[in-house]
Amino acid sequence: MPNKDTAYTREGTIAHAMAEAMLLHLLSIDAEAVPDYADFMLSGGEVRVLHQINDCNEEKLDWKEMAETVYDNYVRLVYESYLGAKLEDPEAVLLIESKLQLAEFIPEGFGSSDAVLIYGTTLEVFDLKYGKGVKVEAEENAQMMCYALGAYCGQGEFYDIANVRMTIIQPRLRHESSWAMTAPDLLNWAHNKLKPAAEKAWKGEGEQTPGEHCRFCKVAAKCKALANYTLSVTEDKTEPGLMSLEEIAELLPHFATIKSWISSVEEFALEAALEGDTIPGYKVVEGRSVRKISNVAEAMARLEGNGIPAENYLKPAELKTITDLEKTLTKKGFKTILGDLVIKPEGKPTLVEEADPREPFSKAKNDFKDIIENL
């Protein structure tokens, strides 16, 4: 299936290109330390990302937010790792967007890695994930192992690599995850698991295994295995009566996959209908819309011309959001002027798995919070 170009993929492409340009700039000036974001941009960094700035403007994206987020939470981490590696091995190498060699294990396999760091007997691959929907862990992550394998079989073959490290960085989630394995273990996995599975997939063989990973699949909407999986989750819950909390707990882990599947089917059916295909029993209609003023400036001029008081048609001025104020004042300026006025209200109670590191929410403790604080 072809890749589907969306606003999210375009945003991710721009963010990757921006990260690449920033790292190449630091390498080109042989930076011995990572400057803060403002100094980096003033010292030629903004010129290096000018193309990405223009792309952001075309996509109506906030380029300043993207640039600062990518720099502080990805570029800094990668380049600091490189500087640390150079202390251990002066011949350390940082490669940006290097080609991966995967054809030996995956038919017509190709791609590029966001960043590869080689020092001593260690090879580390970094993967930038700019999305903010799902936290991804590096441990036993097959995608990351493919990246590491491709780098090992490419650039790594010129070095005596014994250990491989994989790091996923998600800037907008402030999430970083790393995992390491030996090079022999990686090659063993590649020969005994990856290669046989890839060959089966290339031939259209093998089993479809539905699960949480299906949310990223291009054919999820048409997959019978996924449909059977989602519909079978409640098969044994059809008897009369009410479910116990234990039975509800058994269902909860499946909901993310089910919701994603339902959305993908609905989107696919709508797109097919819009392209002229017939969906038995369904038709496309124009949805409800909300009235709006076509020319706001003209409307305001007419109201003013008719003597209507401004307070009757204009909303009162509102304080900008903290994020917008930080952009205007800089984070340091915001903290100096308004830092003591910032509070963090309690978040809405959310049901999560027990493994979640957050402290359990106590309704009783919350109800008596004011009394407890004054004790």
| Pair 51, 31 in one domain | yes
Distance CA 328, CA 133 (A): 27
pLDDT, residue 361, reads: 78
Residues of the chain with pLDDT under 70: 236-238, 363-375
- CATH of residue 139's domain is 3.90.320
Q: Residue 70 and residue 14: Cα distance in Å, rounded? A: 11
Please tell me the number of Cα atoms within 13 Å of 14 on its side-chain side. 27
Question: Is residue 65 located within the same domain as residue 148?
Answer: yes
Q: Are residues 104 and 221 in the same domain?
A: no
The helix (run of H) or strand (run of E) holding residue 27 is: helix 7-28
Indicate the pTM of the whole model. 0.76
- The reply to whether 327 falls in a domain is yes
- Return the pLDDT at 130: 95
pLDDT score at 375 = 60
Domain assignment present for 351: no
Which of 240, 274, 308 is where one domain is finished? 274
Does 100 lie in the same domain as 232?
A: no
Range of the domain at 326: 296-341
Confidence (pLDDT) at 374: 59
Is residue 290 included in any domain, yes or no?
Answer: no
pLDDT the model gives residue 345: 83
How many domains, in total, are found in the chain? 3
Question: Are residues 27 and 75 located together in one domain of the fold?
Answer: yes
Q: Is 177 a domain residue?
A: yes
Q: Are residues 16 and 155 in the same domain?
A: yes
Per DSSP (E only), the strands in the chain are 93-99, 112-119, 122-128, 163-170, 175-182
Q: What type of residue is 263?
A: S
Kindly report the average pLDDT of the chain as a whole number: 89
Tokens of 17: 């290109």
Same domain assignment for residues 302 and 171: no
Q: What is the dihedral of CA 367, 368, 373, 375, to 10 degrees?
A: 180
Are 246 and 148 in a shared domain?
Answer: no
Residue 284 belongs to some domain of the structure: no
C-alpha angle with apex 178: 77 to 107, nearest 5 degrees?
105
Quote the pLDDT of residue 117.
Answer: 97
Roughly how many angstroms between the first and final C-alpha of the chain, as a whole number? Answer: 63
Q: Report if residue 253 sits inside a domain.
A: yes
End-of-domain residue from the set 145, 177, 203: 203
- Encode pLDDT of 334-362 as tens digits: 889 998 988 888 778 877 777 877 788 77
